[in-house]
Each structure stands twice: as C-alpha cells, then as structure tokens.
Structure 1
Amino acid sequence: MTIRVVLTDDQPLVRAALQMVITDTADIEVVGEAEDGAEAVRLTAELAPDVVVMDLRMPGMDGIEATGLITAGTGATRVVVLTTFDDDDYVYGALHAGASGFLVKDMALDDILAAIRIVAAGDALIAPAVTRRLIKEFTRPVVSPPRWSELDGITAREREVLTLVGRGLSNTEIAGELSISIATAKTYLTRLLAKLNARDRVQLVILAYEAGLVATSQ
C-alpha cells in the first residue's frame, strides 16, 4: 500500500529535496505540497493523506496550530514535524498539539523516509535516543496541575511502565528493567494507550511528565 504524504514547509528547497527522494521510492507518494499551516489543513481535508510532514516555523499559521487542527479532525492523518534543535518552544507545543514524532532537518534522507513509514504504520517516532534528547532539551516545567486523576484507573505496574516510557526506554529496555518479557511490555503499553486514551507513545511520554512521574530535570 502506498503511503500518501503532504509536505509542508515554507522553504521550496526543502520541499523539493523531499519530493525528489520520495519520487524514487515505491511505497511513498507526495500527493500535495503546502507552504504554510493553513494550506496544510486545507489539503489534509481535501486529500486525506496518511502523513503530513510539517515544518514548525512558518509565516501565517505555524506548524503547531496546523498540527492541532489536523489531529483534532476525524480523519486518520498523522503528523510528523520538521524541526531543528533550536525550536525549544515549538517542539513541546507540537507534542501537545498531537504530533506523532519528529524529523530533524539534517537527518539522512533515508532516515526521513523510514520515519514516515513508522508513523504511517501507526507508531510514533519515539526512538529512545531521540526521546531522551528531546525531553531533556525541550520539556518545560509544567504550568498546569499534574493530571493525577487520569492515572487513577491504571495499576501500579502500569504506572511503572508509564514512568519508563516517559524516560525514553524502548520496549526491550522496559522488559529488562522490570524483568518481564518484551511481549508483556507491549501488552502493558497497549493497555496504557487504551486506558489513558492516548493517540500513541508520544502522548504517553507527555502524560508521564505532566503527571510528575518523570522530573523535567532528569
């Protein structure tokens, strides 16, 4: 099945580079290009792509607002953001808006293609090394009360798993930390997603931080 993508960036050269490499792949197709957030929202409604690759800093409607509007819709379109590691305020905002992961602009093009495939498959681009760096760099002190009430329905073991997810551990690392099988770790993650009504692993990371399970200074 071909993954349908909308590219959103106010820099034509960035879109052209991505378009060029995607043209050479058999399983990914660019169905639209947008130069700002408003156009990305319009194209998403019109074309229903699988993935929107979203820049954050754009004139007019930025990537955070556009991401929020897209993920709040009834469609299955997922968003990965294009970022650089100086986008402090933008990246945390994009996480809250519902982005499923990050593409760093200086990543190898093959890695960007792999990231698109991961997100299109319903997972999140939340590789442990990336998670730890993003959280350390970008997580700001919580300005709203911790969302403890949302954790009332989870077990003590599920809370342990959620804490480890927040720390950026992979399923394999979680299994090792808790002396359980990888399959069991995956089962706990599936339960957490359902109980906490989380879209993906990225949102579990956010919830872990907002609930105070992981300190922002870690």
Structure 2
Amino acid sequence: MRSVETFLLEAELLASPPQAVYDWLKERGAKVNRVFDDHGGDEELEEALLARADPLIDLGLARFCVHGSIAKRLFSRALGNKNELNHARALRLAALSNQVLGKSNLFGFPDALFKNEELYRWLEFLRDLLEGNEPWQALSEDGRLASIFALSNNERVRRPYDDTYLDGWDEYMYHGVSTAAWKLAEKVPTTPVRAMSLARLYCSLRRERVLGLPRFIGQICIGILCQWVFSL
C-alpha cells in the first residue's frame, strides 16, 4: 500500500512545472546510494510523471529514474521516434548514462535492455554502440561490461539472418553488427574482465558472414586470448 507521503508527493509533482520536476528527479538521484535505500517515490509515481509526456520531464526520468522499466520504455520510445530526432537521441543517451539505476537496482538497466530480442529491430543503433561511438561513450564502464555480457545472452544473437524477404540494406546492417562486435576487441582497453565478457559474446555470435578479412574472426579469437593472458 502506498504511503500518504508518496501519494501527496505525486500530487505535488503532477501539479509542478516541468523544470521543478526535473530538479526534483536530479536531487533525488544524487541521494541514492545503495539498492535498498528509500528513494522517495515509487514506480507508480514515475509512471505518472511519464504519462505527462513532457520532453523535459522525460529527459529527467531517463537520466535519473530509479526503476529500470521506466528507462527501458523511454529508450524504446526514443528508438522508434523518427520525428523528433534530436530529442530522441538525447533520451537514448540519457538512459544509457543513467548512473542512478546502477545504484538502485540489482538487475536492471542496461542488462534487461540488451537481453531483449527486440533490440535487433534497431540495427543502426546497435552497430553504432558496438563500433564504440556515441552510445558506447554514454555508458559507464560497468554499463559497457553489462551490455556485452547481456548481448551474449540475447537469443537473437544466435539466430541466422532471416532472408525470407530479400532486403540488401537490412542484410548489410545485420551482418555489420556482427562485424562491429568482432572488431570491438581491437578498440577496448585490455583487461581480464573485458576479455571474459567479449569471449562469452563471441561464443554466442553468429559467424556465417562477417564484413571483414577472410580470417578476421580467427585473428580476433587469438587476440582475445592473448589479451586475457597478458593482462593477468
């Protein structure tokens, strides 16, 4: 049952201007220290703020929410938004860079996001991430490791490309994701933890076609093992 304080807080925030709500979310996020803290406000409150559909409040939720389900919904909404590209991009980066979730959830974002098979609907984003571009830079070090590990558990990674409907560009982007994943080993810092995460991903990754050199995959596998050994 919700407390009276939470109910009144929700009513106050729903009646507040967007900037005041953003400031409250930011202030609350700075106070979260561990998983079982009393964060101030429950998931129902964040749902109510999300329902306001205000761009600034959405940005604040993406950056400072404490419930992974809210971040995932905002992230998915941003991926599917073709009309407001700049705002959608900001929402994606804000959700990926959310440091509050890492402190307030044992198993939350981005782990659940990257295990979701629907992620492969957005190949351009996934390729951008694995190429080490803007989405990758938005993630914390723990977030990067979590995303690699979670991708290794994504069933979609193990499936071959569905060529029922021939689409040259879609097929190119699909295999481009695999290529970017293999090449990631050349770009990330060499540490045992990274090597283990990448090795797990590579055991799951489809190998039927990679946009690179003929023996590129084998070279990367050897490189990963060498990096792992010499980092110990």
More strand by share: 1
**TM beyond 0.5:** no
**Bigger CA radius of gyration:** 2
TM-score relative to the length of structure 1: 0.38
